Amino acid sequence: MVGLEILRRSLVTRAALISVISLAGVSTSLSANTTTADFRSSFCKATVSGGGGKNMKSIITAQNKFTFATLSHHARSNEGKTRNLVLAPFSGHSVLSMALVGARGKTRTDLATALQLDPRYVAREVEWLGDRQAVTKTERCSPTGDGWTTDVRINNRVYVQTGKKLNAEMTKRVETAFDAGFESLDFRRQLEPSRVHINTWVKEQTAGEISELIGRNVLKSDTRLVLVNTALLEAPWALPFPKGATKDKPFNLASDPREPKKMVNVSTMQVTGQVTSFRYAKRRGFALASMPVQDHQLEMVIVLPDAMSRLDTVLSELAAGEFEASLAARESRRLVVSLPKFKFSSNADFGEIVAKLGGASALKPGADFTGIDDGKDQLFIGPIVHQAKIDVHEDGFKAAAATAVAMMSGGAPPKPEDPIPFVVDRPFLFFIVHRETNAVWFAGVVRDPRA
Per-residue pLDDT, 319: 94
Task: Encode burial over 205-237: b for 16+ CB neighbours within 10 A, e otherwise.
Answer: bbbebbeebbeeebbeebbbbbbbbbbbbbbbb
Q: Which CATH number does the domain housing residue 439 bear?
A: 2.30.39.10
**Amino acid, res. 155:** N
Per-residue pLDDT, 233: 75
pLDDT band at residue 128 using 50, 70 and 90 as cut-offs: low
Per-residue pLDDT, 53: 55
Q: Average per-residue pLDDT in the chain?
A: 78
Q: Are 263 and 250 in contact (CB under 8 A)?
A: yes
Which residues, in sequence order, are bridge partners of residue 228?
A: 157
Distances (CA, A) of 161 to 97, 194, 205, 443: 21, 10, 22, 35
Spatial CB neighbours of 140, under 8 Å, sequence gap ≥ 6: 39, 40, 41, 42, 44, 148, 151
The verdict on 89 and 135 lying in the same domain is yes
Does 198 or 273 have the greater pLDDT score?
Answer: 198
Closest listed residue to residue 24, CA positions, set 384, 385, 379: 379
The verdict on 338 and 416 lying in the same domain is yes
Find the length of the chain. Answer: 451
In the predicted model, what is the mean pLDDT of residues 66-77?
Answer: 93
The verdict on 216 and 173 lying in the same domain is yes
Does some domain include residue 251? yes
pLDDT band at residue 406 using 50, 70 and 90 as cut-offs: low
**Amino acid, res. 331:** E
Does some domain include residue 61? yes
The verdict on 70 and 173 lying in the same domain is yes
The kind and range of the H/E element at 205 are: helix 191-205
Q: How far is the C-alpha of 96 from the C-alpha of 20, rounded, in Å?
A: 10
Does 285 or 451 have the greater pLDDT score?
Answer: 285
pLDDT at residue 12 tops 50 = no
Per-residue pLDDT, 105: 92
Spatial CB neighbours of 133, under 8 Å, sequence gap ≥ 6: 49, 50, 177, 178, 179
Per-residue pLDDT, 251: 97
The verdict on 24 and 145 lying in the same domain is yes
Phi-psi region of 116 (alpha: psi -120 to 50; beta: other; left: phi over 0): left
**Amino acid, res. 348:** A
Does 406 or 38 have the greater pLDDT score?
Answer: 406
Per-residue pLDDT, 368: 93
Per-residue pLDDT, 70: 95
SS3 170: helix
Q: Which CATH number does the domain housing residue 182 bear?
A: 3.30.497.10
Q: Are 357 and 114 in contact (CB under 8 A)?
A: yes
SS3 446: strand
Q: How far is the C-alpha of 421 from the C-alpha of 100, rounded, in Å?
A: 46
Does 35 or 175 have the greater pLDDT score?
Answer: 175
Q: What domain count does the chain have?
A: 2
In the predicted model, what is the mean pLDDT of residues 188-210?
Answer: 88
Backbone angles phi, psi at 72, to 5 degrees: -65, -45
pLDDT band at residue 214 using 50, 70 and 90 as cut-offs: confident
Backbone angles phi, psi at 177, to 5 degrees: -80, -35
Concatenate the DSSP letters of all residues of 106-124 into one string: HHHHHHHHHTT--HHHHTS
Q: Are 131 and 61 in contact (CB under 8 A)?
A: no
Does some domain include residue 15? yes
Q: How far is the C-alpha of 86 from the C-alpha of 401, rounded, in Å?
A: 9
Closest listed residue to residue 140, CA positions, set 265, 246, 43: 43
Does some domain include residue 197? yes
Cβ-based neighbour number of residue 77 at 10 Å: 13
Does some domain include residue 186? yes
Q: How far is the C-alpha of 402 from the C-alpha of 414, rounded, in Å?
A: 44
Cβ-based neighbour number of residue 273 at 10 Å: 22
Enclosing domain of residue 228: 2-236+343-408
Per-residue pLDDT, 5: 26
Q: How far is CA 423 from the centre of its chain?
A: 27
Q: Is the dihedral of CA 349, 351, 356, 357 positive or negative?
A: positive
Backbone angles phi, psi at 29, to 5 degrees: -95, 140
Does some domain include residue 379? yes
Per-residue pLDDT, 255: 85
The verdict on 257 and 229 lying in the same domain is no
pLDDT at residue 141 tops 50 = no
Does some domain include residue 451? no
The verdict on 77 and 41 lying in the same domain is yes
pLDDT > 90: percent of the chain: 35
The verdict on 33 and 156 lying in the same domain is yes
Concatenate the DSSP letters of all residues of 48-99 into one string: -SS--HHHHHHHHHHHHHHHHHHHHHHHTSTTTTTS-EEE-HHHHHHHHHHH
In the predicted model, what is the mean pLDDT of residues 67-89?
Answer: 87
The verdict on 279 and 355 lying in the same domain is no
In the predicted model, what is the mean pLDDT of residues 373-380?
Answer: 78
The verdict on 208 and 249 lying in the same domain is no
Per-residue pLDDT, 43: 33
In the predicted model, what is the mean pLDDT of residues 282-291?
Answer: 95
Cβ-based neighbour number of residue 147 at 10 Å: 9
pLDDT band at residue 268 using 50, 70 and 90 as cut-offs: very high
The verdict on 139 and 44 lying in the same domain is yes
The verdict on 198 and 332 lying in the same domain is no
Q: Is 284 exposed, middle or buried (0-12, 13-18, 19+ CB in 10 A)?
A: exposed
The kind and range of the H/E element at 202 are: helix 191-205
DSSP classification of residue 216: T
Q: How far is the C-alpha of 161 from the C-alpha of 29, rounded, in Å?
A: 9
Does some domain include residue 384? yes
Phi-psi region of 80 (alpha: psi -120 to 50; beta: other; left: phi over 0): alpha
By mean pLDDT, which of 119-128, 289-298, 307-316 is the weakest?
119-128
